[in-house]
Structure 1
Amino acid sequence: MNNQEMTEIITELETKIAFLEAANDDLERALLSQHERIDRLDVIVNELRNRIKEQASVSEGLDNVPNEPPPPHY
């Protein structure tokens, strides 16, 4: 292998490494973005879960009202 071939191989490897580094940076940014979105969605899910629990306890409280006879116009 002569100097010219070795230089071409090194240049090709450097190009591939640069491409892989750029792709890795893109993937890292995408992963961070998805992680942040998952965190926000987790907060929303927990808030909805709490609202559902509150509504369920309110509904259960309404179910415990003694049965009254229907009004006379029924």
Structure 2
Amino acid sequence: MTVIEQLKQEAEFLTEPLAQEVLDFLLFVRTRRGTEWPPGVFEHTAGGWKGEPLERAPQGDPEQRLELE
């Protein structure tokens, strides 16, 4: 049983307004999950570059900032 299913089951024992809050939150979580990276995407793409080796250009010295008082 997933965490969402467990929370949904627990919401059945809450008062109506509180149960609605929990269900609204679960709907939000379910919607947000659709905007995340698919499972395994990084495991399948890490090291996938086949071109010339990438090199980071020198960044130079960091800027000098005023000290906080």
TM-score, structure 2 as length reference = 0.38
TM-score, structure 1 as length reference = 0.36
Whichever of the two has the greater Rg, that structure is 1
Counting helix residues as a fraction of each chain, which structure ranks higher? 1
